[in-house]
Chain A
């Protein structure tokens, strides 16, 4: 069976300007959204705060949960349904409560007055102090920066600097777009989402490396050929593999997204976007960068 015929020859490179404009537009939207919302919405891992996950024996609504908790002084708590069924809720507060266990016990006791004894289960409690949140945020940022730097070094070492440049711009592009989607959908960024970002980074580079590998091979084979058609041909030659791998990886991430449970839903969602964007960027962002770089150098050489 073949999805992509061997003689396929789409003009990817020719459409690079449209692609670049589209990417910039999306990133711009993201930046605007991030500016309006005052940065990404961090989960308690990064912002610090308190979270209590409860499960009720029967279904109810967030408003009713709030009503049941009215007598406790838990103002400013957000109550949000968790998962598909309306019997699990996340209660969240901004401040870091030192006495988390007491808080959980209070919530349980108060709610059992409404829902009946033994009908309210505390499934998870989390408290992250502001200092720890700040540290975790810094560590996550460091991890991403180190990962990017490490890959730039590796690709420069194994290939050439311009390939590395293309790969890095491609992956920054992927992370920015994923960030945009998260901001637009008001999804929270926590530690597991950062793990997803780093996987996207890895995946995007993986994809780019494979295209670059073919470009390098073709350059060696046809040293006289102009850069645009050569890159276009390389992309087409690896297209079958790109579609297969992305498709199959996407299948396994969809399985995670649908059946992995609520706790890793955001993680799976970030991966989902990341894989699609990562595939797009290795074709439409990373490879054209090599052309732009080449033209820029030629231009500079012509001037001097």
Chain B
């Protein structure tokens, strides 16, 4: 055997061995030693094949900026009071502005100096005063806006990851997509309702004092005094399950937020056998809570989550232990999920579900089954047609085709790519297109034989001339495969992966492997006629 053939044969055998080793965990799940299964993951199935949930959430970054400006407004107000600067009002105006209104130039200068020193992220923009007042306007710098938005999305991703981890899904995927979108994939999720409820909640926990002097019924009609806010308390009747909403007017100013929580756990109230969520504050939170409750004994404090009042208990005494309980009429599941979102922290801005695709497990199983049937039938058609038309050369092509399929699957496993239903379609299509290379070679060999060349010379010329044709043809298809992968989303990407991998393995099997088989056959054997 000539040396060249030996080395090429070794390379091909190595590829085959590697493919078989890497694919073993996919096909012989469970019956392999642990180290083997660990070294090579089984082929990942896409959500469309194994069932699961694909979500795209949009983070409302504008809300995060609004929230930041609200916070700044409070801070500026407090600071002005502390420094004894006389001012009329501090307000958060539309157009992402913060305005301080003062009575005279002197106070205006004081405000400017203070703002410059304490809030460098705010850019001054002065407008002519109205009605004798001077209004000092400030806005967040472009840099600060970008930072805030960036932070909001990153923080949201982190929080969602915490929630998903506690939800208990194997191999979840969370990643940022574009500027302010977050992609979440939850394979095999059993209860999509619950997943949505958990992920979609902002979980902004606030404590607000109830405005006892305002009649909620008047407020519902629209008579809301400034500085107060109308919220609703949700109550579920334990017997009938009907939900009722009771209006409640609270002071707009939040006395405390959930940022200062250390822990949240579900507990059962032994008296009514109802679940509630027990929360523990951190050191700072405990001190604040102690102050607030001390100052407001006898008043009602509303516990507000995402603008819904859960309960509004009367503060009977100063609470200094740093713990509180959120009771409301919820089921045990709801209480568990509330504890999860409180532990995982609130989202810096509300999220909106922009895209949701959920596939049940039974559809996935059917798709796999149909996909496999389609691939097998495609293979049978192709193999039969090649063998009939090109005889032994067709059999060689079929051998190359079989190896091609093996290599495609092995590449998917080695590169940890995900196999989807369109991906299976890509494989079926590749099987069809892969024969193109062999057809080109065989047609060329036939042509050369007709021109009166010997078997060996015809083979040489056939492969030689077909080589660049095959390269050009496949590279153009590969180009569209790569572009599909770059710009495609979801199903398109899955298709692009198998198509691109398929083209590469096709080039290898059709040019390299089938040539090797021919050479091996002709080596040391005087072949007069080629069976083409």
Residues of A near any B CB (own CB < 8 A): 1, 3, 6, 53, 55, 98-102, 104-105, 121-129, 131-132, 136, 139-140, 142-143, 146-147, 150-151, 154-155, 158, 191-192, 194-195, 198-199, 201-203, 205-207, 209-210, 213, 237-238, 240-241, 244-245, 247-256, 258-261, 263-264, 267-268, 271
Contact = CB atoms under 8 A, between A and B. Distances in A.
23 contacts: A6-B450, A55-B362, A124-B357, A128-B355, A147-B483, A154-B476, A192-B425, A195-B495, A201-B480, A205-B480, A209-B472, A210-B440, A244-B435, A245-B439, A248-B432, A249-B436, A251-B378, A252-B378, A253-B432, A256-B428, A258-B377, A259-B374, A263-B421
A140 B490 CA distance: 12
A139 B485 CA distance: 11
B496 interface: yes
B381 A252 contact: yes
A88 B103 CA distance: 72
B474 interface: yes
A253 B426 CA distance: 10
B479 A132 contact: no
A261 B371 contact: yes
Interface stretch (B251-259, B271-279, B384-392): B384-392
A124 B490 CA distance: 15
B432 A143 contact: no
Contact of A203 (B388, B424, B433, B491): B433
Given A191-B492, A248-B381, A267 B432 contact: no
Interface residues of B, number: 75
Nearest to B470: A210
A55 B361 CA distance: 13
B299 to A, nearest CB: 36
Contacts of A237: 447
B352 interface: yes
A188 B357 CA distance: 18
B366 to A, nearest CB: 7
B359 interface: yes
A101 B196 contact: yes
B108 interface: no
Interface string B508-520: 0000000000000
A151 B386 CA distance: 30
Given A99-B196, A202-B477, A209-B469, 12 more contacts: A151-B480, A154-B475, A195-B422, A206-B436, A213-B473, A241-B440, A248-B381, A248-B435, A249-B429, A249-B435, A263-B421, A268-B425
Closest A-B pairs by Cβ, 5 of them: A252-B432, A261-B370, A252-B378, A249-B432, A143-B487
Contact of B443 (A143, A241, A258, A260): A241
Contact of B489 (A131, A191, A206, A244): A191
B481 interface: yes
A249 B483 contact: no
Nearest to B361: A123
A256 B481 CA distance: 19
B429 A124 contact: no
B373 interface: yes
A142 B487 contact: yes
A199 B385 CA distance: 23
Nearest to A150: B479
Nearest to A214: B469
B402 interface: no
Contacts of A1: 388-391
Contacts of A151: 476, 479-480
A107 B201 CA distance: 24
A253 B479 contact: no
A199 B494 CA distance: 13
Contacts of A251: 378, 381-382, 385, 432
Nearest to B485: A143
B110 interface: no
A260 B296 CA distance: 69
Contacts of B322: none
Contacts of A99: 196
A279 B161 CA distance: 50
B358 A126 contact: yes
Contact of A248 (B193, B352, B386): B386
A170 B125 CA distance: 59
Interface string B35-78: 00000000000001000000010100000000000000000000
Given A191-B490, A259-B370, A271-B429, A100 B358 contact: yes
A235 B175 CA distance: 50
Given A195-B488, A198-B483, A210-B469, A247 B370 contact: no
B476 A209 contact: yes
Contact of A255 (B366, B381, B484): B381
Contacts of B472: 158, 209, 213
B432 A150 contact: no
A194 B487 CA distance: 12
A132 B440 CA distance: 43
Contacts of B480: 147, 150-151, 198-199, 201-202, 205
A240 B432 contact: no
Contact of B356 (A100, A202, A245, A252): A100
B492 A192 contact: yes
B431 interface: yes
A256 B433 CA distance: 14
Nearest to B370: A261
Given A125-B192, A206-B436, A98 B422 contact: no
B209 interface: no
A238 B480 CA distance: 24
B354 to A, nearest CB: 4
Given A6-B450, A202-B481, A248-B386, A255 B358 contact: no
B217 interface: no
A132 B56 CA distance: 9
B367 interface: yes
A264 B422 contact: yes
Contacts of A124: 357-360, 363
A150 B359 CA distance: 35
A191 B425 CA distance: 14
B499 interface: yes
A100 B390 CA distance: 55
Given A151-B476, A213-B472, A263-B48, A248 B439 contact: yes
A137 B439 CA distance: 37
B361 to A, nearest CB: 9
B353 interface: yes
B468 interface: yes
Interface string B195-234: 0100000000000000000000000000000000000000
Contact of B425 (A101, A249, A256, A258): A256
Contact of A195 (B371, B381, B491): B491
